[in-house]
Structure 1
C-alpha cells in the first residue's frame, strides 16, 4: 500500500500564513499539518511502502522541510508546475501512474485528524472507500447521498447543494482508499478522459461523481462516528482546529471557554451557558420565523417607536416607560452616563455597571460571608454617611443568584 498527498495548492484564504509557505506548512498548536500527517502515515510502516507527495506552490521549501523530519517511509515527489492555473484534478492526474502501481490512501494536505480516522479506513474490508461524515451546517464543498448499504448514490458539488435536502447529506472528508484494481478499471481511465474533455481547473471528486452513476461504481462510503477531523481553509478553521486538537486538557478547556457560546461548529457539545434558554423560542414562534424568514432578512426592521409600542402592548404598560436597546450593555452604558454622583456597588457583581464609571465614582461594598449573602441592614449601615447618589442592586445577584 502507498499514500498520495496532494500539496500543490496556494491556500490564499489563509492570507499572510501562506504568503511564503504552502498550505500544509500552517501550524496547529505548534506542529505543521504536513508533519503531523507524515508521522501518522509513518507509523503504518512497513505495510505502507511509500508516500507520494504532489508539490507545487513553494514546493522546494516543502521538500527541504520534509527532508529534516525523521520519517522512515520512502518519500517520492511529483511536481505540478501549473499549480497557479489548475486545480487538484491536475495534481492527481500527474500522479496517475502511481495510482496504477498499488493500493492507495489518498489525502488532501489541509486536513488534520485523529489516528483513528486512518485506522477506520484500514480496518474496513471493502477495497475502495470514501470517508464521509454527517453533514453539519458549517461545512462546505462536495457532499454525497448514500443508500442503506452505504453505496454512494450521488456526489453533489457545492454548486448543486440544496439546503432542503441537508439531512440526507454526508460531507466528504477528502480521504480515500483506492484499490489498485479500482484505479486501473475505473478511476484513472475516467480521470484521463475527464481532464481531456473538461480541462484541469476542476476537483478530482468530479471524476468520482461520474463513476457513481455507473451500475457498479466499485466504491462505497465509510461513515465516521466520533472520530475528530477538520479541514483548514481559513483562519477561523485554524482557530477551531487548535481548540479541537490541543493535547493539553487544561489548554483545551481554556480555548473552549474563550469562545463564549460560539459552539455551532462543535456538533457534539451542549452549551449550558446561562444565556441559553431551552424553553424559548417555542415551536410556534420558530415556525413563524421560518415561514417569514425571507421577509425578515430582506426588509428593514421597525424603528424604536414601533418596537416600544409592541413592548408596551405585550407587557401591559405605557409606551412612555419603554426604552428599547440593542442588548443590555447598550442600555447600561446609556444609564450610567445619566446618573449623578457616586454609585454604591455590592461586590461581586455584574461588572458591566461599575466598568462604565471612573473608579473614583464607585463606592464598593464587599460581602463578608463566604456565600456572598448580605441583608438590608448591612447595606444601610455601610452606606450610611457615604456620599452616593445611587445604590446598585442586581436582582438576582450576580454571581450568587440571590
Structure 2
C-alpha cells in the first residue's frame, strides 16, 4: 500500500496564510496539516508516500526535508502548471505510480481523526471512499449510495439539489483504490477524461463517470461520528481548531463564540435555553413558504412592530417596544438606569454588566438552595435602600420562582417605596400554571408605571435565530426613550412575519409548553438518580445542579465535551457561585435528554 497526497493547490481563500506557503503548511492548534498527516501515515505499513506539489513546492520539500527518514519513504511529483489546472491534472502526474500498488489517495487540506485510516484499511473491500452524512457546513462533491453502500452517483456542485440532502454524503477526500482498479478503470478513464475535457477539472469527475458503469466496484464507507474537517478558508480553520482543541482550550473556543453552535451539528448543546417543541413544523413551513419575499423586502419600522408585539401579548401598543433580542433592550434600559439597583446573585449577567459596581446592592439567597421569596427581598431591601430592583423570574441559573401572589406583593411594595421594578419573565412560560403567571397585562402595567417587564421571545418560543424580545411598561417616557435609542430597523422581516402569524399557532404553543413541563419532570427524576449531582428544584427550562462528588464542575464539563460532544454550562464564572461546583443544564427533547443521562451514568462508573 502506498499513499498519494495532493498538495499542489494555491489555497487563495486562506489569504495571507498561504501567501508564502501551500495549504498543507497551515497550522491547526500549532501543528501544520502536513506534519499531522505524515505523522498519521507513519503509523501505517506503507511502501512509499508520494506528494504532488506545485504552488510553493520547493518550500514544502525544504520544510519536510529528512525529518521522516526511517519512518516514511517520501517521493515527490510536480504539477508545473498548478495555477492553470485543477486536481485532476495533479493526479494525472502520478497515474503511472497508481498502477504500481494499492493506493491511499488523500487531499492535503484535511484534518481528521487518527481512526479514519484504520477504518479504511481494515475494511476488506478494496475500493472505498470515506464519506460523511451531509451537514450544512459541507461544500463540494457529494455522493449517493444504495443499501449495499455502492456509490451510485457523484454529485458535483452544479448538480447539488437541496431537496435531496437527506440522501447525500460528503466525500471526505480520502480514498482507497486497489492496483487493479487503478490499472483497469480509474487511470484509463482519467486519461480519456483529460483528453476530452481538459485539465481544469476535479478527479472526482472521473469517479462519477465510473459509477455509471454496471459494475463500478466503488463503495462508500460512512465515518459516523469521527471528527474531520476540510480547510478552505479562515472560517474553516477557526472551526477546525475548535473541533480538534482539547481540554480548557476546547471549552474556551466554544465559549467565546456566544452561539453559532449550528456550525457544530454533532455537538449536543445544553448551554442555550430554548423551547425544544416550538415552532411546530406547520409554522416553519409557513415561514419557508414566504422566504423569498421576506429575504428581499425591507421590514417595517418600530410603529408596526410595536403593534404586532402588542397583539402578540395582548397589551397596548404604546406600552411595548420590540428589540433585536431582549439583550438589545436590556442594554438600552440598563444604561438609562439611575441610582442604586438591587440584584439577586447569581443572576443573568447581561443586566449587572451594564452597571457601575457601586450601583449594585447585592442580595444573595441561601447558598445551598439558592431559593428566596418576595418576603425575603422586601425584608432585605427595606434595610438596604435602593432605587430599582431587578428580578429574573424564574431566575437564571437557579430556577427559583416567585408565584403571582408574591409578585403582586412586590409590585405594591415597590409602588409604596417609589422603586422601579424590573421583572424579566423570559422563562415564565415554562412554569407550572404558566397561563396565569405573566405580568404582561394592561391592568398590571397601569397599576404601577414603575413596573417594567422584559421577555425574550427566543427562549420560550424556540426562535433564537430570529433575535426577538420585548420590553413593556406604562412609563411612556421610558418606552419612547428606548424606541429612539434603538435602530429604526432593528427587527428583520423574518422576525416581523413570525410575530404577525403567531396568533394562528397560539394553541399549538400552549400545547408545547405543557409537553415541555412533562418532559422537564421526567428529566428531573432521571437527574436525581445521578449519584454525584444535587438537583435544585426549577420552574424554568433548565436545572441548576451542584456537582458533589467525583468531579469538579469544570472537570465534568470538559469530560462531557471531549468524550461525548455534549456542552453544558459551568456556573463557576457566575457571581455568587465561584468555586461551588454548580452547573446548569437546559431541558431538551426526550432523545437528547436520555443521551445526556446515559453520559452521566458512564461517568459515574
Fold conserved (TM > 0.5)? yes
In 1, the alpha carbon distance for the partners of 2:348 and 2:180 equals: 66
Q: Which moved more, 1:152-161 or 1:271-280?
A: 271-280
Aligned-pair distance for 1:298?
2.1
Note if 1:282 corresponds to 2:280.
yes
What is the match of residue 458 of structure 2? Answer: none
2:214 matches 1:222:
no
The residue number in structure 2 matching 1:137 is: 136
Indicate whether 1:331 and 2:322 are aligned: no
Range moving further from structure 2, 48-57 or 26-35? 26-35
Distance in 2, matches of 1:310 and 1:158, equals 41
d(CA) in 2 for partners of 1:255, 1:336: 29
The SS at the match of 1:325 is: strand
RMSD (CA atoms) = 2.1
The match for 1:390 is 388
Post-superposition Cα deviations, 1:297-334, rounded to whole Å, max 9, x if no partner, equal 22222322222222222322211111111111211122
In 2, the alpha carbon distance for the partners of 1:205 and 1:187 equals 10
Q: Does the 8 Å contact 1:261/1:273 carry over to 2?
A: no
- TM-score, normalised on structure 2? 0.63
Distance across 1 between alignment mates of 2:398 and 2:201: 58
Aligned to 1:21, the other structure's residue is in SS state: coil
CA positional deviation for 1:79: 1.3
- What's 1:30 paired with? 30
Alignment of 1:89-168 (within 5 A): 89-168=88-167
Tell me how far 1:367 sits from its aligned partner: 4.2
Q: Distance in 1 between matches of 2:262 and 2:139?
A: 15
Determine which structure has the larger helix proportion and give its number: 2
Cα shift at 1:11: 1.2
SS at match of 1:9: coil
2:177 is equivalent to residue 187 of structure 1: no
d(CA) in 1 for partners of 2:144, 2:259: 31
| Regions of 4+ moved over 6 Å | none
Aligned residues of 1:4 and 1:53 also touching (Cα < 8 A) = yes
What's 1:301 paired with?
A: 299
Q: How many aligned positions are there? A: 399
User: Are the aligned partners of 1:261 and 1:271 in contact in 2 as well (CA < 8 Å)?
Assistant: no
Deviations 1:157-186 (A, max 9, x none): 111100011111111111111111111111
Pair 38,253 (structure 1): closer, same or farther in 2 beyond 3 Å:
same
Q: Hey, what's the Cα distance between the residues in 1 that align with 2:14 and 2:182?
A: 33
Where in structure 2 are there 5+ consecutive unaligned residues? 401-605
Partner in structure 1 of residue 16 of structure 2: 16
- Aligned CA distance change for structure 1 residues 385 and 218 (closer, same or farther; 3 Å): closer
Deviation at 1:293, TM superposition (A): 2.0
Distance 1:154 1:372, change over 3 A: same
**Matched residue of 2:190: which SS?**
helix
- In the other structure, the counterpart of 2:269 is 271
Alignment check: 8 A CA contact 1:14 1:235 kept? yes
How far off is 1:377 after superposition?
A: 5.1
1:279 Cα offset (Å): 1.8
Instruction: Please give the TM-score of this superposition, normalised by the length of structure 1.
Output: 0.92
- Give the Cα separation in 2 of the matches to 1:268 and 1:121: 22
User: C-alpha separation between the residues in 2 aligned to 1:141 and 1:237?
Assistant: 14
Partner-residue secondary structure (3-state), 1:69: coil
Task: Indicate the larger mover: 179-188 or 270-279.
Answer: 270-279
In the alignment, the residues of structure 1 paired with residue 118 and residue 197 of structure 2 have an alpha-carbon distance, to the nearest angstrom, of 35
- The answer (yes or no) to whether the contact 1:147–1:153 under 8 Å persists in 2 is yes
Q: Contact 1:108–1:174 (CA<8 Å) still a contact in 2?
A: yes
> SS at 1:222's partner residue?
strand
Cα distance in 2 between the residues matched to 1:212 and 1:373:
65
* Superposed counterparts of 1:197-208, under 5 Å: 197-208=196-207
Name the stretch that deviates more: 109-118 or 307-316. 307-316
Contiguous gaps of at least 5 residues in structure 1: none
Q: After superposition, give the CA deviation of every residue in 1:87-126 in whole Å (9 maximum; x if it has no partner).
A: 1111111111111211111000011112221112112222
Range 349-358 or range 250-259, more displaced: 250-259
Alpha-carbon offset, residue 263 of structure 1: 2.5
Shift of 1:280: 1.4
Counterparts of 2:344 and 2:217 in 1: how far apart (Å)? 70
- Matching of residues 207-246 of structure 1 within 5 Å: 207-246=206-245
- In structure 2, relative to structure 1, the CA distance for the partners of 1:362 and 1:250 (3 Å cut) is closer
